[in-house]
Amino acid sequence: MIPWKQLASAPIPGAPAGDASALTLWQRGAEFSIRIGPMTLMTSREHASEEALAARALERCREKRAPHVLIGGLGMGYTLAAALRVLPARAEVVVAELVPAVEEWNRGPLSHLAGHPLRDPRACVHIGDVSALLRGPVGVWDAALLDVDNGPSATIRDANARLYSDSGLLDVHAALRPGGVLAVWSSQSDAGFAKRLRRAGFRDEELRLPTRPGQKAKPHAVWMGLR
């Protein structure tokens, strides 16, 4: 078997010192993975649920003339690419990415994986915390897609917990336009998060999606919250 090779490492802003303070990029043959310490966050083999996150959330944006979409977390570009396949020509997609090197990786060794989505003129990258954008002007976004952690109960850094809290979800609710949708990716279900969505004023739905088409392994969860 071909061994994994580490290609790069990048510090995570605001992360405590230790193994979980940096993202690392790995390659084995044609396969790539991004890890934090010993934990694999994502691989190029398993991305069906991330693509479904975008496709399902943005169904309501197909008929809009110029939808304004926020994606939290660039990852390997699969969520962005799936969003661009759905959205019309005048859409604007802002991807908030906390770690600058992730954008560099997506313009370099990872660029081909999702079909070079950062070359699309509808997309731009904002280097910074997605929470700051969600605390900005109200009624700005038609959709907000969050894929910045392994889920509401498995955050990469402590500061991200606010995103999934009552106050954080109220920020999202205010930032969305009427009829806007919030979609949140998670590696597992979380009943407490579903209750917080409802308290914030969202009509919620939980989807269970495979990581790869036809896979029988434990599916990932995607929450959809309609404003």
Q: What are phi and psi of 104, to 5 degrees?
A: -60, -45
Domain residue extents for the chain: 46-226
Q: Is 139 helix (H, G, I), strand (E, B) or coil?
A: coil
If pLDDT is split at 50, 70 and 90, which confidence band does 205 have?
A: confident
Task: Return the pLDDT at 5.
Answer: 97
Q: Is the pLDDT of residue 16 over 70?
A: no
The full length of the chain comes to 227
How far apart are the C-alpha atoms of 31 and 45, rounded to whole Å? 7
What predicted TM-score, i.e. pTM, was given to this entire model?
Answer: 0.89
pLDDT of residue 211: 55
* Residue pLDDT, tens place only, 51-96: 888 998 998 888 889 999 999 999 999 999 999 999 999 999 999 9
Mean pLDDT over all residues of the chain?
Answer: 88
Distance CA 196, CA 199 (A): 5
Q: Taking the alpha carbons of 36, 10, 186, 137 in that order, is the dihedral positive or negative?
A: positive
**Of 156 and 30, the one with more pLDDT:** 30
pLDDT tier at 1, thresholds 50, 70, 90:
confident
**Mean pLDDT value across residues 196-203:** 92
Q: Which residue has the tokens 């919620």?
A: 204
CA distance 147 to 11: 19
CATH number of 46-226: 3.40.50.150
Q: How far apart are CA 132 and CA 126, in angstroms?
A: 11
Please check whether residue 48 is in contact with residue 122, taking contact to mean a CB–CB distance below 8 angstroms: no
Q: Kindly tell me the burial class for residue 70, based on how many C-beta atoms sit within 10 Å of its own C-beta (0-12, 13-18, 19 or more).
A: buried
Residue 219, Cβ density class (10 Å: 0-12 exposed, 13-18 middle, ≥19 buried): middle
What is the average pLDDT across 32-38? 93
Q: What is the pLDDT of residues 124-150, one digit of tens each?
A: 999 999 999 999 999 999 999 998 876
